[in-house]
Chains A and B, each alone.
Chain A
Amino acid sequence: MEELNLLEKLERVKAPPDFEQKVLSLLSERKEKRCLRVRNLRFSFAGALAVLLVCFIVLNVFVFRGKESLDFSGVEKGVPAGAKRGEKLRERDYLPIIEAVEYSGEIQRPSYESQTIYILEQVSEERLEQIKY
């Protein structure tokens, strides 16, 4: 353990006399830099937000509004599809969907079941009228 005794005897150094002043001046420098960095960060953040807002407005006004969607509901035979499209879009902001329903498979032929009586009822959710047979 000879080297351990020597380790203890190794010379000890001290901080230079102006160490404290240097540390304090360094501290004030760092503080100033930090303030500056925070201010710059705040400005750049605000700038980025402003740019995003402008982009959003520009896209909304000039790009998304300018696009026309397809509408085939009012298309007549022989009339080009795009002819009345602009007018229709100005009038309505919704797209009517017409769905074709096939009922032929639902009803069986009466010839095969001659005894069957079919009662056709009017089904409506809007009116509540008495059904007469």
Chain B
Amino acid sequence: MSMDEQELVRQIQDGDEMAFAKIVNIYKDKIVNYLFQFTGDYQSAVDLSQETFMRVFFKANKYKPIAPFSSWIYTIASNLARTEMKKVHKAPTVSLDDLHNSYSSGAFSENPAQSGITRNIRQSLRALHPRYRIPVILKDMEGFSLEEIAQIMKRPIGTIKARISRGRNYLRRDLEAVLKEEDKDLEKKENSYGRA
């Protein structure tokens, strides 16, 4: 953690709103993106991000500088996301309409064009259990090291390694199954057009 961030956190602990605004500015995009990858819903990602920053302000006194601040904020975000998932308590499926809406309203995305494979991989990612999804996202999308992920998830590094490996395997298997189904559908369509 940089000295600036450490100083900002110390100021937040004293109730400084300006320091808090700076922290929000530094982390807003990262947290919103992480929660979007986790939940798959832009609006709930934004809401959860706001709640994350609220926790950062009100629980700042609980932060101890033994771990990087980024790990702490990602831990809060992960816990909130997991709680939200439990609350929603539904299968993590996304309809194409929802996807279309979220992308069309996502004026803030860098690359709104979604190919079929990207859509499939996102769907497979959402189907993963949070136990595997969190380390996979943190490692392969956010670029955290194993040590950092271990700090965020409060698990040993060995466990994190195993979860990432297992998560990738599940993802690969799911993706292959989805692709096979799509191929079959395509073949059926082609056959039906051929007959017509």
Complex formed: what's the CA distance from A64 to B114 in Å?
A: 81
Render A25-48 as a binary contact track against B, CB cut-off 8 A, 1 for contact: 011001000100000000000000
Does B186 touch A at the CB level, under 8 Å? no
Q: Quick one: which of B108, B122, B136 has the most chain A CB within 10 A?
A: B108
User: Considering the complex, which residues of chain A in the window 10-58 have a beta carbon less than 8 Å from any beta carbon of chain B?
Assistant: 10-17, 19-20, 22-24, 26-27, 30, 34
Q: Is B172 within 8 A of A23, CB to CB?
A: no
Q: Which A residues are CB-close (under 8 A) to B141?
A: 7-8, 10
Docked CA distance A7–B175 (Å)? 12
With A and B bound together, what is the CA distance between A17 and B24 in angstroms? 12
In the bound complex, do residue A13 and residue B24 qualify as a contact, i.e. CB atoms below 8 Å apart? no
Taking residues whose C-beta sits less than 8 angstroms from the other chain, chain A's interface range is 20 to 34
- Cβ of B42 within 8 Å of any chain A Cβ, yes or no, is yes
Residue pair A13, B45 in contact (C-beta under 8 Å): yes
Cβ contact within 8 Å between A13 and B140: no
A14-B33, A14-B108 are known contacts. Are A7 and B54 too (CB-CB below 8 A)?
Answer: no
Q: Is the CB of B37 within 8 A of A10?
A: yes
| Complex Cα gap A3–B31 (Å) | 23
Known contacts: A4-B168, A26-B54, A27-B20. The answer to whether A11 contacts B114 by CB under 8 A is yes
CB distance from B99 to the nearest CB of A (A): 11
Contact between B50 and A23 (Cβ–Cβ < 8 Å)? Answer: yes
B181: interface (CB < 8 Å): no
- A3 contacts B46, CB within 8 Å? no
A6 at interface by CB-CB < 8 Å: yes
Q: Which residues of B contact A16 (CB under 8 A)?
A: 46, 108
Q: Cβ of B118: which chain A residues have Cβ within 8 Å of it?
A: 6, 9-11
- Alpha-carbon gap, A15 to B172, bound state (A): 30
A63→B7 CA distance, assembly (Å): 62
Could you tell me which residues of chain B, from 138 to 167, have a CB within 8 Å of some CB in chain A?
140-141
A6 to B114, CA, bound (A): 12
Residues of B within 8 A of A (CB): 17, 20-21, 24-25, 28-29, 31-33, 36-37, 42, 45-46, 49-50, 53-54, 57-58, 106, 108-112, 114, 117-118, 121-122, 124-125, 136, 140-141, 168, 171-172, 175
Lowest 4 A-B CB distances belong to which pairs? A15-B28, A14-B108, A15-B32, A7-B140
A-B contact pairs, 8 of them (CB 8 A): A3-B168, A10-B141, A13-B45, A14-B32, A14-B109, A17-B108, A20-B25, A23-B28
12 further A-B pairs in the complex, CB-CB below 8 A; given A11-B118, A20-B21: A3-B171, A3-B172, A6-B121, A7-B141, A8-B141, A10-B141, A12-B109, A14-B33, A19-B32, A19-B49, A23-B54, A26-B54
